[in-house]
Amino acid sequence: MKNIFLLFLCLASLMFTARAQENRKAKDSGFEKSIALAESNRFLIEVNRAFPLGGKSVDLFSNRGRITVTDSIAKGFLPFFGRAYSSLPGEDGGISFDGKMEKRELKVKEKKKGKHLLYRFSVKGENDTYELFLDITANGSCSLSVRSNRKSQISYEGTISPLPSGTPEH
């Protein structure tokens, strides 16, 4: 009876070890896909929640923001909830840009919950300059933080994915 129990214990241990290795391989595979996507400089970010500085989070179900990165061009609109230090007549109040990315940087960081990809760039809008900081995980979720010269900092939560087929080149 003791031998059967020990055999069962060994088999269970082997099964748990194999499953843990499979999960680790799947995470590494997902992370490699995230790295390849970011390095391709051809991706779409869709945000579904905003976190204004000093305010409550806002669900963006009807007014999702998005950023399209095509090679060295970033085009995007993000709803803004927060304080604007200055505004011009006719501005829509959101964060809007369509221009060449500058100071682009890509780093892999090891965190407690696994590897993260940090993607940073700046881009000029019509009347402002924005610094964008992306923290991308292996499963394609990401957090985005935006700093502006004329508005308070704001963060978003969303996903990163490949550009849909047929997306025009800039």
- What is residue 166's predicted lDDT score, i.e. its pLDDT? 62
Residue 122 confidence (pLDDT) = 95
Q: Say how far apart CA 57 and CA 65 lie, in whole Å.
A: 14
Tokens 């780093």, located at residue:
107
CB 31 within 8 A of CB 117: yes
Q: Are strands 73-78 and 58-59 parallel, antiparallel or unpaired?
A: unpaired
- Rounded CA-CA distance 170/167 in Å is 9
Q: Report the pLDDT value the prediction gives residue 66, as an integer from 0 to 100.
A: 93
Amino acid at 82: G
pLDDT for residue 2: 64
Give CA–CA dist 169/144, Å, rounded. 24
Tens digit of each residue's pLDDT, the chain (170 residues): 666 655 555 455 555 554 545 555 545 566 788 888 888 889 999 999 999 988 788 888 777 889 999 988 999 999 988 777 776 655 667 889 999 999 999 998 877 777 888 999 999 988 889 999 999 988 889 999 999 988 889 999 999 999 887 665 55
What pTM did the predictor assign? 0.76
pLDDT attached to residue 91:
61
Per-residue model confidence (pLDDT) at position 132? 96
| CATH number for domain 2-162, candidates 2.40.128.410, 2.40.50.140, 1.20.1090.10, 1.10.1370.30 | 2.40.128.410
As a whole number of Å, the end-to-end CA separation of the chain is 72
What DSSP string describes 82-113? S-BS---TT--SSEEEEEE-EEEEEEEEEETT
Phi, then psi, of 155 in degrees rounded to 5: -120, 155
